[in-house]
Chain A
Amino acid sequence: MTTSPSAFAPAGAPRDAGTGPERRVIRAREHCVEVVSDSGEGAQKCGQSFGAVSAKMGNGVWTVEIIPAEIQPPARTPAGASGVRIRLGSGPVTNWGDHAELVVAFNEQVLLARHRQNALADDAVVLLESSWRDHEDETVRTAWQNALEELGTRHYRIVLVPMQEQCATVVDDARRGRNMFVLGLLAGIYDRDAERCREQIAQTFRKKSREVYERNALLFDLGRTWALEQLDFRVEVPTTPHDEPMVVMNGNTALALGAMAAGMDLCAMYPITPATSVSHYLGDVFEDAGGIVHQAEDEIAAAGVAIGASYAGKVAFTVTSGPGLALKTEFLGLAVMTETPLVVVDVQRGGPSTGLPTKIEQSDLLAVLFGQPGDAPKVVLAPSTIEECFHVMVTARRIAESFRCVVFVLSDANLATGVQPYPRPVPDERWLATPPDLGPVPEGLRPYDWDPRTGLSRRFVPGQPGGMHTLTGLVHDENSKVSYAPGANERGCAMRSRKIAVLQSTLEPPVPHGADAGDLLVVAWGSTRGAVEEAVDRARDAGLAVSSLHLTFLSPLEPGLREIFARFGRVMTVEVNYSDEPDDPFVTDENRRRGQLCMLLRAQTLVDVDCWTRVPGQPLRPAEILTAIRARLAKGGRP
């Protein structure tokens, strides 16, 4: 550990940019930076602004929020670490990477948290607020010393930055202004366009007064100047200007915009992390576009309201996460049974029970597929990028309506808060739902006039003369009459199931990333795509015959899997859910509990698919996936 003498330059040093120390240039195609503070100090705002500006300048960007477990964690504790990781690239960035190469920390305790989570590269540069070192309170000074000792076990280069002291020259409450000062630091280090940064600050504070903007712009300038004058390095991640218009947002905003683009009318929900922000954003803009957010009394009611609205001819969806999903179960069975179109967004978090409310996991796949008592076939889609979060809503709505079925969209906490630029969609009127036909029901048509081959039927909407019938969750015949005849249940089940097969017949086989054949195929789904493909690329660069296959449709599964699997020596899923390790005590090949996609693939393809899964409460890193790939290849044999 070294501390830079430049950090202690006298406050009255020259202020013009460019007159500072000779600056070493770190040139990289990718760079990963973290900003961490106590909760409420604005590191997230700072990091997200930096990410947005970088995206605008033509860098690939992926940002991940570092979220403390509590709303008001104690100040200066590792548990309270709150912030953002921003991974920049010259080309597109698809995941959060491995280790941070630069960290800006507002105190040594939150830095310690990241250190303990092995989030920092061994040679990371750390810009650390210096005011705590000489704090009047002895316990603070001791904590500082202990922390620096612990940090000293690695080769970080710690640069002390008098953030508070600097901010105090412009604002009264210097602790509060630090985030924009830090934005300035980053702008100096990464040579960000100052004008764009100021625009971003204006955007961030658009609901506040002009004075607030000006104060923050001043803090930004101060930070930038300080970096230019005092730091002996800068980082250059070449930008590639986009040749098409781009937008940048997180996955939940993309889902919300997708819902609007799909022509949805109603979002019925009950607040639950990490799904809620979909409704926050929609609550802000939906009504301008003819929609409403209904905050129901609980998740059960949210599902019921959505089903009622859909039955009545509007396009409705409900959005939730694990515990809320559990509550919706019975209503979802009803929607399946009555063939009422419904889109359900599940932004997965860690479980079971309250689990890890703010953290990523992919543990709801089987619950979504098999969570209803009885046979309740439905469609399950998993977006894997922010862009897909947008487009998946259009697909989901269309399938729900044309197949009269429940469509699940499985997102997760990684996509929910991850920010990434993507090509600006060109909204199309054809994406919107056509309003229901309220004309008379043609003579002789029945409420469930199933086409015996496909199971498809046309639904009646209240208001249509001649279509009166009672929809029921009881077993029913084509006339929607309750029936206990032995054939009736058989037939209803077959018709609802058939639709899933029909949908599958319209899908194309997926295309592996890498090569068409090889020693190992890694199969994954959802938000792990970027990390998995990066790991595969690294493995291939190292000469390993590894490919990956990313599935968007999980029910029905995409066609041709068995054939694809047959071209690889081994097949292994990589998932963020729990599985036993083969060599765990008592675990045998027969009782081993495997990853959720793994179980599904084994059942559907009869291929001896293996799995490597982890539930760390954070996104997977490409490096650990690569290690798992190497380990799997080293084990040889099949599985």
Chain B
Amino acid sequence: MTATCTLTDCGAGEPVELTMADYQGAVARWCPGCGDHSVLSAVQRLLEAHQLAPERTVFVSGIGCSSRFPHYLRTYGFHGIHGRALPVATGIRLARPDLNVFAVMGDGDCCSIGAAHWVHAIRYNVDMVALMLDNNIYGLTKKQTSPTTPLGFATNTQPRGSYLPPLDPLSVTLGVTNASFVAQTADWAPQHLYRTLDAAFRHRGFAFVRVLQRCPVWTSSVFQDLVRDPSRVEILVHDDGIRDESTESVHTHHVEHDPGDIDAARRLAEEGGTRLGLFFRDPERPRYDATRRLPPYTPADRIAVLEREFDRHAV
């Protein structure tokens, strides 16, 4: 995805360098300490670093705290309905290869109500960055169990603790035929988060990024140990992976993992524990939007085909 700024390449006058502030939309209204703020900053950094044309960049979201994301950016945005960011983003991508398309979802959005679209979006492998902001809870609707809520965690709908082990979004994603980019990062590792977004943006295909996202209001405990004790987090390292010195120096526990090896990626995801980094990347996987994009046509072409078809049905 490479639609950069028209202002810098239009040739008229001095090229204008866009700054992070140029991508700033409304003032973010998430709770103080919410991990979504950190994701927003990393995204703004990404937009700035790539000097993406705001008018050619679209953020699509569902419904949830996390889905307010597009309002806080000065790009085009589509704040749609709960669970359905991916079909809308797919439609935009099929229609417009020239746009930069991002989808932002919550864990309920993506893994519960929108799960069918998630599975199929992975398989379509349409070129976009898909961010899943996973706070292990339904935030906006005030603390109901989500598919990623830890076993035994008490919520308003399951006050005696959630009944089932959580669904692992990485295993699911890696298990779907044609997965092409699967990474995990965390809101409290901003540099790693940024590098991950950068890698996802550079990937051609469906780049799925799960961001472990703190919700100080409803799930303040779930990531606490990981934040306090960086050694509990493993960092995936590889020359083809996502490298960030600062993260690797704070998180001393490293695992060498080749992101070209899907079997190893699946094993790692299955094993449990918390790992940040690039699990899998294959830029060669077929992309639905590469074969199914709307072919250009002229009115004359269209009319010629109509006439041909009328001939076929002529009386």
A186 to chain B, nearest CB (A): 18
Docked CA distance A260–B96 (Å): 19
- B228: interface (CB < 8 Å): no
Of residues 281 through 325 on chain A, the ones whose CB sits less than 8 Å from some CB of chain B are 285, 287-292, 294, 296-298, 300-314, 316
Interfacial chain A residues near B292, Cβ < 8 Å: 292, 294
Q: Is A427 touching B306 in the complex (CB atoms < 8 A)?
A: yes
Query: Residue A330 contacts which of B74, B81, B306 (CB distance < 8 angstroms)?
Result: B81
- B87: interface (CB < 8 Å): yes
Q: Interface size class for chain A? A: 35 or more
Q: Is A308 touching B95 in the complex (CB atoms < 8 A)?
A: yes
Interfacial chain B residues near A474, Cβ < 8 Å: 79
Q: Is B76 touching A266 in the complex (CB atoms < 8 A)?
A: no
Per-position binary interface string of chain B over residues 77-92, scored 1 when its CB falls under 8 Å from any chain A CB and 0 otherwise = 1111100101111111
Interfacial chain B residues near A290, Cβ < 8 Å: 294-297, 301-302
Query: Residue A297 contacts which of B76, B117, B303 (CB distance < 8 angstroms)?
Result: B117
Evaluate whether A305 and B306 lie within 8 angstroms (CB atoms) in the complex, with A424-B314, A482-B71 already known: no
Max count, chain B CB within 10 A of own CB: residue among A245, A425, A429, A470: A470
Interfacial chain B residues near A308, Cβ < 8 Å: 60, 78, 87-95
Q: Is B99 touching A462 in the complex (CB atoms < 8 A)?
A: yes
Interfacial chain A residues near B306, Cβ < 8 Å: 257, 260-261, 289, 425, 427
Q: Is A247 touching B315 in the complex (CB atoms < 8 A)?
A: yes
- Report the stretch among B51-59, B210-218, B237-245, B265-273 that lies at the interface: B51-59
A167 to chain B, nearest CB (A): 29
Count how many pairs of residues, one from A and one from B, have CB atoms less than 8 Å apart in the complex: 199
Max count, chain B CB within 10 A of own CB: residue among A268, A305, A462, A473: A462
Interfacial chain A residues near B93, Cβ < 8 Å: 308
Docked CA distance A249–B315 (Å): 10
A513 to chain B, nearest CB (A): 25
Q: Is B84 touching A463 in the complex (CB atoms < 8 A)?
A: no
- B13: interface (CB < 8 Å): no
Interfacial chain A residues near B26, Cβ < 8 Å: 481
Docked CA distance A249–B314 (Å): 9
Interfacial chain A residues near B11, Cβ < 8 Å: none
Docked CA distance A254–B305 (Å): 14
Q: Is A263 touching B315 in the complex (CB atoms < 8 A)?
A: no
Docked CA distance A462–B81 (Å): 19
A204 to chain B, nearest CB (A): 12
Interfacial chain A residues near B95, Cβ < 8 Å: 265-266, 308-310, 312-314, 316
B308 to chain A, nearest CB (A): 8
The residue in chain A whose Cβ has the minimal distance to the Cβ of B307 is A427
Interface residues of A (CB under 8 A from B): 55-56, 242, 245-249, 253, 257, 260-261, 263, 265-266, 268, 285, 287-292, 294, 296-298, 300-314, 316, 330-331, 334, 421, 424-425, 427, 429, 432, 460, 462-474, 481-482
Going nearest first, the 8 A-B pairs with the smallest beta carbon separation are A308-B91, A290-B297, A304-B87, A470-B77, A246-B315, A305-B91, A289-B305, A312-B95
Q: Write 5 A-B pairs (CB below 8 A) sorted by A numbering.
A: A289-B306, A300-B84, A308-B94, A316-B95, A471-B79
